[in-house]
Structure 1
């Protein structure tokens, strides 16, 4: 299957600002690098480096041969739409958006999102947000992205609007993300 895995990531200084009460800028940058490395490793093991793309202004020190898609600005939804359009132009058949802040993700988690009918979404642990989104192309060429509060339900509704099958992929490696200080404490608590 011709697929891309796209990992959206902000500029290093803009990453994980909600963690400012517990991490300074250098600490946030190190955390982002650690989680991004984990996510990239899992994606690479699942499909190979040539099918991986970062979406944003920086490779965060990752190899120069890693694909980098431009972020047109305006937030994650316009950036995802731009990546979808680039994938369509490249003849990609399956497009997977994977969050960069998944410290427990494994290659098997990523693979679970690739061989599915229709649209698949991996929700966050509370079941509200979208940590991964897998789209069949060109069937989902008109998919409207709804990242933000309540995105899981909104993405399910979008699959219904397009008349495409919908699957929820619930896995700990895809569900556990680090957005708030309590998430960081929960992850660090697991490591001790």
Structure 2
């Protein structure tokens, strides 16, 4: 009986869920932004933090997005920076990031695998406003929430994934002990 409970506990602990809200399933191919297009300096209590790399293809990142941990997302063909910042503010996320001209990601953490890039790497116009920059291919136009900040370091150090693996390993050792 104890072995069954331990197995159930391990299965429950190894399950990770991320809430994703899709608003539009049709895809509009983003274009490279006009030379005059720029990221907004701020809005909705967020401040522009630069262009950062997406982590889904980074070695040892496990295919996890830069803004995935306990995150939310919204995708639509009329995306603007303001829309994304409002959405992320409504879910009280520390970070708001735009990618591919139409995708918005919100999260309390930024992956430690993500690195700041030159602003020119984020070059896709927002589908809803061609004068705004909404990331690029595997690049994120990132905004950091500045009001109501707790003063905590704004980048998850050491990586949440490494912590998760250590915790999972500990539970597996515990379960092995019970068998």
Q: Normalization by structure 1: what TM-score?
A: 0.28
User: What is the TM-score normalised by the length of structure 2?
Assistant: 0.30
Which structure's CA Rg is the greater one? 2
Higher normalized helix content (fraction of residues): 1
The answer to which structure, 1 or 2, has the higher relative contact order (CA under 8 A, 6+ apart) is: 2
Q: Which has the higher strand share?
A: 2
